[in-house]
């Protein structure tokens, strides 16, 4: 029977503790059973903070549903390199709904910054501190770190923020889930979907920096699912590859568990 049991917990522990670099994990099944490893340890947030931005927009949408149709204009200074497509597209006007979708599906840095400029980064950061303590959004994406102001998270803080996009099916959660389902970065927790012929659905959001590889995913078969967060911080190319392999192996363990009859 699928779920977090003693056998799965032991396999997870063996795999996670096999690595020498900094690692944290938070895994929960649909019954609420939870597996944790260093879940309160702080990491650079990378693009996983975009989940928190989506949650903030959801909170505004709940009071003002019409905001999804609002038009946002891309200003020249908002176009930043890295993940995403908006920075090299000629289109300058987008619906707020599409900006959120691009931020989630392609991890678009420009889209995230447009939303932070529109709503006020400090407002978003304070809202996160009030609702998901442990998530800190102290700079725009690709902006330099000044006086130690950076973006941080813990696996413990991220799990409820992630699950916020899967609670109470409505217009907002539906399009966010579509974006996460169509995620363009599939090289970590969902890497083995095709090899395993996984018959369920996957939703994921990734994040990376020069020394960081994070991933967050919901893996689902029928009414059974796992929410999984794996955070890693490493040194050098050898550990970098090991961090990717760790993510892939954890995802494989969870998908194999879900496919058990």
Q: Cα-flanking dihedrals φ and ψ of residue 59, to 5°?
A: -65, -35
Three-class SS string for 9-70? HHHHHHHHCCCCCEEEEEEEECCCCEEEECCCCCEECHHHHHHHHHHHHHHHHHHCHHHHHC
Q: Cα-flanking dihedrals φ and ψ of residue 40, to 5°?
A: -100, 0
Give the pLDDT of residue 148.
59
Q: Cα-flanking dihedrals φ and ψ of residue 3, to 5°?
A: 135, 175
Give the pLDDT of residue 84.
64
Q: Encoding tokens for residue 257?
A: 């568990």
**pLDDT(83) > 90:** no
pLDDT tens for 38-55 read 999 999 988 999 999 999
- Mean pLDDT score across all residues of the chain: 91
pLDDT tens for 64-81 read 999 999 999 888 777 777
Q: Read off the DSSP letter of residue 8.
A: H
What value does the mean pLDDT take over residues 159-170? Answer: 94
Give the pLDDT of residue 91.
78
What value does the mean pLDDT take over residues 229-242? Answer: 96
The pTM score is 0.93
């Amino acid at each position: 029977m699928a779920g977090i049991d003693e056998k799965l917990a032991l396999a997870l522990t063996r795999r996670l503790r096999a690595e020498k670099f900094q690692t944290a994990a938070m895994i929960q099944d649909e019954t609420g059973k939870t597996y944790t490893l260093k879940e309160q340890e702080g990491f650079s947030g990378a693009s996983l903070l975009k989940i928190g931005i989506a949650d903030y927009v959801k909170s505004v949408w709940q009071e003002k549903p019409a905001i999804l149709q609002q038009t946002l204009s891309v200003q020249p200074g908002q176009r930043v390199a890295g993940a995403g497509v908006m920075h090299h597209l000629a289109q300058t006007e987008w619906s707020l709904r599409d900006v959120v979708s691009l931020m989630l599906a392609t991890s678009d840095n420009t889209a995230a910054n447009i939303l932070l400029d529109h709503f006020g980064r400090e407002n978003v950061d304070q809202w996160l501190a009030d609702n998901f303590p442990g998530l800190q959004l102290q700079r725009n994406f690709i902006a330099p770190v000044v006086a130690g102001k950076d973006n941080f998270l813990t696996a413990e803080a991220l799990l409820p923020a992630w699950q916020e996009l899967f609670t109470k099916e409505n217009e907002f959660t539906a399009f966010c889930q579509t974006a996460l389902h169509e995620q363009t970065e599939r090289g970590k927790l969902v890497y083995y979907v095709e090899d395993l012929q996984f018959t369920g659905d996957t939703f994921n959001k990734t994040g990376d920096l020069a020394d960081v590889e994070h991933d967050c995913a919901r893996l689902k078969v029928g009414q059974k699912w796992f929410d999984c967060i794996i955070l890693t911080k490493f040194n050098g190319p050898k550990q970098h590859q090991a961090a990717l392999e760790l993510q892939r192996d954890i995802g494989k363990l969870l998908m194999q568990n879900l496919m058990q009859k």
